[in-house]
Amino acid sequence: MTPKPKQSQAPSSPPFKSTGLWLVGSRGAISTTLAYGLAAMQKGMLQPTGIITATPAYQSIDWVEWDSWVLGGHDVCQRPIQDSARELVRANILPHEWIEALDGEAQVFDGRMRPGILDGDGAAFDGADSRSAELGALSPREQISNLQKDWDEFEAEAGLQRTVVAHVASTEAVRDVQEAWSSLTALEQALDKGTDQPASLLYAYAAISSGRAFVNFTPSVGSLPKALCELALKHSVPHCGNDGKTGETLLKTALAPMFHARAMKVLAWQGYNMLGNRDGEVLKQDAHKAAKLTNKDEALRSILEQDVSAKDRDLHSHVAIDFVPSLGDWKTAWDFVHFEGFLGTRMTLQFTWAGSDSALAAPLVLDLARLAELSVRRGESGIMAHTACFFKAPLAGGTHDFHQQYRELLDYIGRIR
């Protein structure tokens, strides 16, 4: 299997054949929401509320139409996607009529799923597929080539022109940074030696080295390391991540710029998150929670203390994530902001955000799939810096101010129009 020279074709022509969207974590809530929502849009049963690229400001771009997307995916469990869907019906997220109305589409999607790689010791995961555990025991090089074989077969069977790989699986346990991640040469050697790697990094490596765009919607490492960024440039492949900005952090980065723009001093910003889905269950384990918390906190500091010299930085902030099983897919966050204005007067802002994790995340993944496909078609390679507004920890760095990030996306759209 060799990387296909996708960037050689005429950049602006819309694809004649279909396009694949491969979801890593395909039996989870985000994938299920995405799959049923996409099928419903394809059948004309659903308006694209929540999908940015479907709004007027994005109309002049030749996006891949909803009808042209074909779904496939990896997962480490074998739970039928209809079961995941029924859970979302009970949580009042999926309309109950869709179970029957979209059963055909669900079956096709389910049939295109393959066992994924179980990360680490899989301790976080109860009910893993035995084949996933077997895959997890292979050498990194074998794992990578297995993934690529799955994608090649997917594309052949479905007659696809290209595939975007999107990682939407549960957060991995935090790993120590490996020295081998700091350059592609070192990473290749480590892979040759069989050094154990996080699953998300293997997915990223497999996708990018086979010329497939890679979207990392999770806080797991993915294509963050310098070695992967080099790989993407070498293969002229676009990639983006990390960690979808869907809820509390979205609000933080939409509100914090206001405090900064009004010269008010934020004394403390406390964020308490509750969630009840499988993601929440995994995050009960401290190792898995760590990555998420870091991203949430860093975004805030970078906005509020941008003018403050290092020695004067004294913002007190705290982020908690707690598992509350009865909430199911409904994330609820309470944030408390204590700030100082003129005369040193101390004031407060508090907000409660109650949203469906999956309904917030799924449309962004569709947007990112469209944007990544467009980048491939346009011959762009490396980090898709214009997607920063989608992520808690954008790969290209830059501001965390949501409004600035969003303007950068609009600027990109303006440039390519």
Residues 219-278 that bind a second copy (CB under 8 A): 250-251, 254-255, 257-258, 261-265, 267-268, 270, 272, 274
Nearest-approach distance from CB 291 to a second copy, in angstroms: 21
Residue 195 within binding range of a second copy, rule CB under 8 A = no
CB-based burial, 333-350: b 16+ in 10 Å, e otherwise: bbbebbbeeeeeeeeeee
Q: Of 78 and 404, which has the nearer Cβ to a second copy?
A: 404
Q: Of 119 and 335, which has the nearer Cβ to a second copy?
A: 335
Residue 322 within binding range of a second copy, rule CB under 8 A = yes
Stretch that binds a second copy, among 60-68, 110-118, 190-198, 335-343 (CB under 8 A): 335-343
H helices present in 262-395, as ranges = 278-283, 286-304, 357-377
Alpha-carbon Rg of the chain, whole angstroms?
Answer: 21
Residue 350 within binding range of a second copy, rule CB under 8 A = yes
The 19-48 site mask, x for binding a second copy (CB under 8 A), equals --------------x--xx--x-----xxx
CA distances from 218 to 91, 198, 390 (A): 22, 13, 11
Residue 138 within binding range of a second copy, rule CB under 8 A = no
Q: Of 31 and 356, which has the nearer Cβ to a second copy?
A: 356
Bridge partners, 173 (sequence order):
none
Residue 414 within binding range of a second copy, rule CB under 8 A = no
Q: What is the Cα–Cα distance from 89 to 94, expressed in whole angstroms?
A: 5
| CA-wise closest residue to 77 among 222, 242, 286, 281 | 281
Q: Of 313 and 318, which has the nearer Cβ to a second copy?
A: 318
Residue 391 within binding range of a second copy, rule CB under 8 A = no
| 34-36-38-39 Cα dihedral, nearest 10 degrees | 160
Q: Of 177 and 347, which has the nearer Cβ to a second copy?
A: 347
Q: Of 270 and 302, which has the nearer Cβ to a second copy?
A: 270
Q: What is the Cα–Cα distance from 263 to 306, expressed in whole angstroms?
A: 12
Q: Of 93 and 229, which has the nearer Cβ to a second copy?
A: 93
Q: How far is CA 31 from the centre of its chain?
A: 11
The end-to-end CA distance of the chain, in Å, is 34
Nearest-approach distance from CB 391 to a second copy, in angstroms: 14
H helices present in 43-96, as ranges = 81-90
Q: Of 57 and 123, which has the nearer Cβ to a second copy?
A: 57
Using CB atoms within 10 Å of the CB of residue 270, give its burial: 0 to 12 exposed, 13 to 18 middle, 19+ buried: middle
Residue 354 within binding range of a second copy, rule CB under 8 A = yes
Stretch that binds a second copy, among 5-13, 14-22, 287-295, 397-405 (CB under 8 A): 397-405
| CA-wise closest residue to 366 among 52, 43, 60, 27 | 52
SS3 content of the chain, % helix, strand, coil (to 5): 50, 20, 35
Residues 57-96 that bind a second copy (CB under 8 A): 57, 92-96
Q: Which of 12, 55, 60, 195 binds a second copy (CB under 8 A)?
A: 55
Residues 95-114 that bind a second copy (CB under 8 A): 95-97
Q: Which of 133, 138, 233, 324 binds a second copy (CB under 8 A)?
A: 324
